[in-house]
Amino acid sequence: MNRMLRLLTILSVVAFTGFAGLSTAALAQDDADLRFVVVSHGQASDPFWSVVQNGVNQAAEDLGVTVEYQAPATFDMVAMSQLIDAAVASEPDGLIVSIPDANALGPSIEAAVAAGIPVISMNSGSDVAADLGLLTHVGQTEYEAGFGGGQRMAEAGVTNALCINQEVGNAALDLRCEGFTDAMSEAGGTVEVLAVDLADPTGSQQRVEAALAANDTVDGILTLGPTGALPTLAALRDSDRLGDVQLATFDLAPEVLTAISDGDMLFAIDQQQYIQGYLPVVLLYLYNTNLNTIANPVLMTGPGFVTADNADRVIELSEAGSR
């Protein structure tokens, strides 16, 4: 990336986040040796996390730094904490982590901070980032996003809903269901949380079908990601309930966008995960080259809502790997 384009990239982020005081000396510094490590709880093969990694990779290319993306093979907090420990031992210039379980990951993250490594959380961890001593957090507030989803469901006439949780124990997902439940309750509706297995889409579909068969008053379902949305969509089709039950989800995938465009899904709550990968790399770059910090979490990646009105345009961006 040429120097002028890099300058424009960084200055745009400075304006976006409220950073100030960027010096030309920072840009003149040799930053080719800067190395950051990302440890997330989501695999790059997942349609959501692949976009996060695309953002990470593009920021690394734009800024001329090295960034390593790592994740456990499954949702495994022990394995994730071990990855964080290994990253700390390698002495990177910065660490980016998602924090789905602060109790399990906190000691490893605190060890990174104690070692003098600047740490930024992304995606999950907005409620614990400050307590753990992190520079900042980049993401959305999960409870508020779930609450917004509940309001939209209630406005669509839903009174009896399911909240499908594909990763029970993930604090961020629990908060999504909590916000959704509170919004539906305020509107006079009810919500039942149904746990499914992230790694077993067939079993997840069967669980949703069984829940629908057991309660024919269900008229709305919110899933917490594409890995819950796609089995649920299949369950509604096979149960001949598609159209009778309003379906919405968190996060995007090509199949989700197609379902919204076709009218088979009401909306998707988009937290713009490309920014969640891109922006922390830039913030670590600014910290390393210019000692810039930001006092408050950057909670501007979501929620946004993808509906039938804008799904076709988002499909184009999704095909490019940035949504």
Please state the φ and ψ torsions of residue 164, each to the nearest 5 degrees: -90, 115
Say if CB 274 and CB 51 are below 8 A apart: yes
Cα–Cα distance for residue pair 146/251, rounded to 1 Å = 12
Say if CB 176 and CB 100 are below 8 A apart: no
Helices (H) and strands (E) in the chain, counts: 12, 11
Give tens-digit pLDDT for 247-279. 999 988 889 999 999 999 999 998 888 999 999
Q: How confident is the model at residue 46 (pLDDT cuts 50, 70, 90)?
A: confident
Dihedral of the alpha carbons of 4, 8, 14, 16, in degrees to the nearest 10? -170
Kindly report the average pLDDT of the chain as a whole number.
88
Q: Across 7-21, 24-38, 42-56, which has the greatest mean pLDDT?
A: 42-56
**Residue 29 reports pLDDT greater than 60:** no
- Catalogue all structural domains in the chain, each as residue range(s) with its CATH number: 3-140+272-302 (3.40.50.2300), 142-270 (3.40.50.2300)
The whole-number pLDDT of residue 254 equals 87
The whole-number pLDDT of residue 317 equals 76
The whole-number pLDDT of residue 27 equals 46
Give tens-digit pLDDT for 100-113. 999 999 999 999 99
Q: Across 158-162, 289-293, 311-315, which has the greatest mean pLDDT?
A: 158-162
Report the percent of the chain where pLDDT is more than 90.
Answer: 66
Pairing mode of beta strands 220-223, 136-139: unpaired
Q: How confident is the model at residue 297 (pLDDT cuts 50, 70, 90)?
A: confident
Q: Average the pLDDT over each of 16-30, 139-153, 188-202, 271-285 and give the range with the smallest value.
A: 16-30
The whole-number pLDDT of residue 3 equals 45
Q: How far is CA 71 from the centre of its chain?
A: 14
Say if CB 40 and CB 71 are below 8 A apart: yes
- Three-class DSSP category at 19: coil
